[in-house]
Chains A and B, each alone.
Chain A
Amino acid sequence: MTDNMIEISGLTKTFGTFQALKGIDMIIPKGSVFGFVGPNGAGKSTTMSIIATLMLPTEGTVKVDGLDVTEHPHEVRKKIGYMPDFFGVYDQLKTEEYLHFYGGSYGIPRKEREQLIPQLLELVNLSDKKDAYVDSLSRGMKQRLCLARCLVHDPELLILDEPASGLDPRARIEMREILKELKSMGKTIIISSHILPELAEMVDEIGVIEHGSMIAVGNINRIQQQLMAKRQLTIKTSGRQEELKQFLLDQPLVQGVFIDGAKLEVQFSGQDAEQAALLKHILLADYEVISYQEQQTDLEDIFLAITKGGGAEQ
């Protein structure tokens, strides 16, 4: 229908006098992984609930694959797999029965489900737990089971709200591997997290939301370039650190220099060409450089740079 899986325009949501979302606009192309970043209470879950047809927007439109979520909720539900930040399970059901229930609820015939469910359990590494009662599963297993539930009707879009919250490092890595596999299957994924490093390596684009406003949307590298004007360079020399510090401070694009043992941390506001020129100057000035590298900026740095440190107003 359209190249975009999600199109949000002027999305506003008000609860009484509290404005949870203040005119959000964003587009998520098909097949991409979109990281939704923001502090607790910023509006991530509200936005996701609206996309999942669980809430009405106060104003604005939300379209999933060209379908308005308020006008065609039944059709939209076919296209989405939703995993909320907090969810419960039916404790008296077995793992396989749990997936049969949701498969049936999506109208998948029993014969198809009998072939599909073992595959899903394999995908989320729960094949050996098919006869276990859901309440006997660990938190990580329940999260993976919920992910399998999201996939039972083969949705085009996965809405995952904090899928790794509360998981131990091992379970977190397992979840990340599953998500990578889903990405390779061509699913569009919108994933929120306030634990940023877990998103960094899998997302194509991020949206940063704070106080209900989208303050940055786009490719991570582009946002990084736009918002992280300063680079941090680390220079390791064999000696003469104080002398090099003075030399660097005389350079036009150097904002500050800090000595950390044999290393110098340099705040630099230039781009790649200027960074290369700086190295050339240092070498021409006869300093013995052991290493010269730009520090990688991660999602956390971007997030801290563009948010003002505030969380929810609730």
Chain B
Amino acid sequence: MSKLQPLQSVKQFFMNPVIDKEYRLRMRTSRSMWTLLAYLIAMGLFSGVIFSIVGIDMRNSIYSSGFTGIAFIVLSFAQLGLIAFMSPGLTAGVISSEREKQTLNLLLTTQQTSFTIIVSKLIASISFMLLIVFSTLPLYGIVFLYGGISPGQLLSVFAFFIFNMLVFGAFGVLFSTIFKRTMIAVIVTYGVVLFMFVGTGIIYLLFSFGYNSYGFGGNNPANDSWILHFLAINPGFALYSVLDGGDWYMSLARSSRASKTFFDHVPFWLEYVIFYTAILVLAIYGAIRNLRPVSRKKQGV
């Protein structure tokens, strides 16, 4: 019985009234159906283009498993892009919209802890995203028709997607507690996600350019690889690392001659997961602290 206790607690948490209410509200709006439809159409069109190219190759009898690998990679990047595009919209209004609808104060005077409210709302939003992403699985199924991709690769890519949903979602929820207007929270969340994708890449390129052109890394060989950490926190490169098994990064790291830190020995995706797990925890913690001003000075939740 005692072994089942933690499972009971988890079950109890996932059946809490906030999650239940969020699911009901989410699934009763026509917007959810349209969002799902739009996502599937976008992914379907994308997949159609990719696989028609593969189809042409097959008709010409120059099929290679490497080509389906590329199709899988392109599809995964498209999926990641759509997740990044959707997450802020789904999560950045979870608290601010309650404030705008004047339902937040009623919720805050209940016995639900700030932790339960924040995490439940995050889970409910992520669940909807999961529904959308898993509904695209049949498109990935086409890849298996051609071979060249292992189920393990598919699972690791989906695990990476789920992690990213959590990260983008946590940013959304955090900004939703900070900004009173949903629109501002959504814009700021998009800004942060854009920085993750583009900003980190630009910083990497700028440092690389500066290092190569002006040598501001100096002659110290330890500086060779630190610039690569900006790549490691870029979701796109991290996904590439997941797809590539990290080989490409490892070869880069080895070439830097002075791989001294822990992060110099791990693939991109692992460094990415470690870094953003810390950020994720901080974002959720911040959201919990912001939710109820009363608990800020005193005992809390």
Q: Which residues of A contact B103 (CB under 8 A)?
A: 87-90
**Interface presence of A213 (CB below 8 A):** no
A92 and B29 in contact, given A55-B294, A73-B298 (Cβ under 8 angstroms): yes
Residue in B16, B17, B107, B293 whose Cβ sees the most chain A Cβ within 10 Å:
B17
**Interface presence of B131 (CB below 8 A):** no
Q: Which residues of A contact B260 (CB under 8 A)?
A: none
Q: For the A-B complex with A74-B111, A82-B109, A146-B106 known, give 12 more contacts whose Cβ atoms are closer than 8 Å.
A: A52-B109, A53-B109, A70-B298, A74-B299, A82-B106, A90-B25, A97-B24, A101-B20, A101-B21, A104-B17, A105-B18, A105-B110
**Interface presence of A107 (CB below 8 A):** yes
Q: Which residues of A contact B105 (CB under 8 A)?
A: 49, 52, 54, 82, 84, 87
**Interface presence of B11 (CB below 8 A):** no
The 7 A-B pairs at the shortest CB distance, nearest first, are namely A104-B17, A105-B110, A88-B102, A88-B101, A92-B28, A88-B103, A82-B109
Assembly CA distance A71 to B297 (angstroms): 9
Q: Which residues of B contact A78 (CB under 8 A)?
A: 111
**Interface presence of A102 (CB below 8 A):** yes
Smallest CB–CB gap between B205 and chain A, Å?
Answer: 44
What are 9 residue pairs bridging A and B, where the CB atoms are less than 8 Å apart in the complex? A52-B105, A71-B298, A74-B301, A77-B111, A93-B25, A97-B24, A104-B16, A105-B107, A105-B111
Q: Which residues of B contact A69 (CB under 8 A)?
A: 294
| Contact (Cβ within 8 A) B295 A101 | no
**Interface presence of A80 (CB below 8 A):** yes
**Interface presence of B180 (CB below 8 A):** no
Smallest CB–CB gap between B182 and chain A, Å?
Answer: 14
- How many residues on A have C-beta within 8 angstroms of the other chain's C-beta atoms? 36
Q: Which residues of A contact B111 (CB under 8 A)?
A: 74, 77-78, 105-107, 153
| Contact (Cβ within 8 A) B17 A54 | no
Q: Which residues of B contact A107 (CB under 8 A)?
A: 111
Secondary structure call for the A interface: loop
* CB proximity to A under 8 Å, residues B243-282: none
Smallest CB–CB gap between A208 and chain B, Å?
Answer: 25
Give a binary string over A209-236; 1 marks a CB under 8 Å from any B CB, 0 the rest.
0000000000000000000000000000
| Contact (Cβ within 8 A) B109 A80 | yes
Assembly CA distance A146 to B29 (angstroms): 23
**In the complex, what residue of chain A is closest to B301 when comparing beta carbons?**
A74
**In the complex, what residue of chain A is closest to B113 when comparing beta carbons?**
A74
| Contact (Cβ within 8 A) A93 B24 | yes
Smallest CB–CB gap between B256 and chain A, Å?
Answer: 52
**Interface presence of B153 (CB below 8 A):** no
Smallest CB–CB gap between B250 and chain A, Å?
Answer: 50
Smallest CB–CB gap between A16 and chain B, Å?
Answer: 15
Q: Which residues of A contact B301 (CB under 8 A)?
A: 74
**In the complex, what residue of chain A is closest to B18 when comparing beta carbons?**
A105
Assembly CA distance A80 to B110 (angstroms): 9
Residue in B18, B21, B101 whose Cβ sees the most chain A Cβ within 10 Å:
B21
A56 and B20 in contact, given A72-B299, A106-B111 (Cβ under 8 angstroms): no
| Contact (Cβ within 8 A) A54 B294 | yes
Q: Which residues of B contact A56 (CB under 8 A)?
A: 293-294, 296-297
**Interface presence of A86 (CB below 8 A):** yes
Q: Which residues of B contact A71 (CB under 8 A)?
A: 298-299
Smallest CB–CB gap between A130 and chain B, Å?
Answer: 16
Smallest CB–CB gap between A24 and chain B, Å?
Answer: 18
